[in-house]
Structure 1
Amino acid sequence: MIVDFHTHIFPPRFNEYREEYVARDPLFARIYAKPNAKIASCEDLIAIMDEEGIDRSVILNANWSSLELCQETNDHIMESISRYPDRLVGFCSLPPKAEEAAIAELERCVRGGIRGIGEMRPDFHGLERGDEAVMDTIFEVALRHRLILLVHASEPVGHEYVGKQKITPDVLEKLINRFPDMTIVCAHWGGGLPFYALMPEVAEALKNVFFDSSASPYLYRPEIFRHVAEIVGVEKILFGSDYPVMPPSRVMKQLLSLDMGEETEALILGGNARRLLGL
């Protein structure tokens, strides 16, 4: 089984009325204001899964500044996983500063079959260092329901790009230590966090932490798979594409070019995700 742990979809009307949603939400506008920024539908995702041999995909929500847009897009994700229960796993979006309303929305999403929260970008929600307490209640509810948290991450060095923001390895490490029992997936290789696991105290903190390979060809040479496997263990790596930013096959090609062995490849491409999601 091949599982893509990092994909994004939107309701079809988001493409049709892109300018309206760009005007409504500054966070959406930062990434999708340009007409060439692809907005994929559920049907687009299923089509490329069939074309490229992907058995299941985790669909992540975006980061919305309003509760209303979170609810609208969460509804679409819950509808999608109900239509394709054997193909799709859904995560939801929450505006943390909505407090009680965010908790109510999380409970609603759990009832709708949601398995996690993400892709979360605390910097997009106006949360800075020291604001972790805002998340305490949300994470308590998430822990009770055994939800997974998937957090966007960026590198503190290197080239600039639209998604490069403030959630760097030092910020992630503080979040992980604050919530040690939370299962956390750090997107985009955690902005390089696995390399800090050469420090014993960081390695100890990563016991419930995983790393996905989303958009890897934009960021790293193929050897990133081998190096992360050597440092934190192959069981910590989740295959993810960041579709529609790129097709799953592009990331898969990077992994398979290394000839790491069938057993290792099988774990990265789906075995680890199956265990984490209980598939």
Structure 2
Amino acid sequence: MIIDIHMHTVRKAGITRANGETYATPEQLLEIMDRVGITQAVLLPEVSPEGSHCLSSTEEILEIARHFPGRFIPFCNMDPRIELNSPQTDMGRFLDYYLAQGCKGLGEITANLPFDDPRVENLFDACQSRGLPVILHIGPQEGGCYGLVDDPGLPKLERALARFPRLKFLGHSQPFWAEIAPDYGEAGRNGYPSGPVKPGGRLPELFARYPNLYGDLSAGSGYNAVSRDPEFGYHFMETYQDRLLFGTDICAPSNDTPLARYLAAALAEGKLSLQAYEKITWRNAALLLRLE
């Protein structure tokens, strides 16, 4: 069994990205899932203009999940600027509605706002009070990218982890996973640093200090973090096996899924314990999303 914590879809392929790709349709996702061995996948709506060429609403995701029962798990999503564009917006009204419709979490947040913007913290507070986990995309700067903006070393993420101790944050993106090591450099912060992981990375420190920090291993960034230095990756996954989750972040029908092969090989070669493998590939997601 495998549960994928991070996928995107639209009911019908429409306008393309600049590179000619489109989001995978639900049917195309199912083909990939069956080929890889993914039992269920979390579908993340795209509601912010940053980070998407084509938006998908929570309502659309709920409809898709109902059309394919047992395969897709719906998340809700809200831009922190929704309705009033104010930290006084009643986010709970939206969350309560989507919870009643079956949503299991919120994300992926891609709004290109400061991590500590009062409108963002208003959304965090509403999610914390309802026990909803949040998937975050962290961006390197305002403009020219997407995701909540934090500085090198992730000081704003740390303040949020401390301010919202009951909110489970699932970190994701290149600027998040680059912090696995201390020497990523300016270019590496929004890329895929290579080579051995030296001691002193910010992420190992944050994982050790904050039990509400989780790792979304999807996309090239998550895969790179645990595979660029395999021995480090195996140790990191064993150490934090309770808070790491398998994902692919499939955004187009042509996307590859190297993490599934990497984890399967690590298990087969005795580099990763069966307990850690099962937690990362499905047990953590089942527990976090209250599927059991």
- Residues 52, 91 of structure 1: alpha-carbon distance in 2 compared, 3 angstrom cutoff: same
Partner of 2:135: helix, strand, or coil?
A: strand
Return the alpha-carbon distance in structure 1 between the equivalents of residues 134 and 126 of structure 2.
12
What displacement does 1:247 show? Answer: 4.7
Q: Deviations over 1:144-181 (max 9, x none)?
A: 3321101013579xxxx976884463332222222111
Aligned residues: 250
Amino acid at match of 2:6: H
Partner of 1:6: helix, strand, or coil?
A: strand
The question of whether the paired residues in 2 share the 8 Å contact of 1:64 and 1:93 is answered with: no
In the alignment, what sits opposite 2:248? 241
In the alignment, what sits opposite 2:233? 225
- Within the alignment, does 1:191 sit opposite 2:177 as a pair? yes
In the alignment, what sits opposite 2:41? 57
Could you list the runs of 5+ residues in structure 1 that have no partner in the other structure? 19-31
Partner of 2:138: helix, strand, or coil?
A: coil
CA RMSD, 1 decimal: 3.3
Partner of 1:269: helix, strand, or coil?
A: helix
What displacement does 1:236 show? Answer: 1.4
Could you list the runs of 5+ residues in structure 2 that have no partner in the other structure? 181-200
Amino acid at match of 1:244: C
What displacement does 1:215 show? Answer: 1.3
In the alignment, what sits opposite 1:182? 167
Amino acid at match of 1:261: S
Q: Which has the higher helix share?
A: 1
- Residues 71, 36 of structure 1: alpha-carbon distance in 2 compared, 3 angstrom cutoff: closer
- Which residue of 120, 136, 139 maps to 1:135? 120
- Which residue of 210, 216, 223 maps to 2:214? 210
Return the alpha-carbon distance in structure 1 between the equivalents of residues 54 and 24 of structure 2.
17
- Within the alignment, does 1:148 sit opposite 2:133 as a pair? yes
In the alignment, what sits opposite 1:41? 25
The question of whether the paired residues in 1 share the 8 Å contact of 2:225 and 2:233 is answered with: no
The question of whether the paired residues in 1 share the 8 Å contact of 2:178 and 2:225 is answered with: no
Partner of 2:237: helix, strand, or coil?
A: helix
TM-score with structure 1 setting the length: 0.75
Amino acid at match of 1:171: K
- Residues 198, 210 of structure 1: alpha-carbon distance in 2 compared, 3 angstrom cutoff: closer
Partner of 2:75: helix, strand, or coil?
A: strand
- Which residue of 275, 287, 291 maps to 1:275? 287
In the alignment, what sits opposite 1:111? 100
- Residues 197, 167 of structure 1: alpha-carbon distance in 2 compared, 3 angstrom cutoff: closer
- Which residue of 71, 88, 98 maps to 1:87? 71
Amino acid at match of 2:164: F
In the alignment, what sits opposite 2:110? 121
In the alignment, what sits opposite 1:10? 10
Range moving further from structure 2, 3-12 or 257-266: 257-266
TM-score with structure 2 setting the length: 0.72
Percent same amino acid among aligned pairs?
Answer: 22
Q: Which runs of 4+ in 1 moved over 6 A?
A: 161-165
The question of whether the paired residues in 2 share the 8 Å contact of 1:181 and 1:208 is answered with: yes
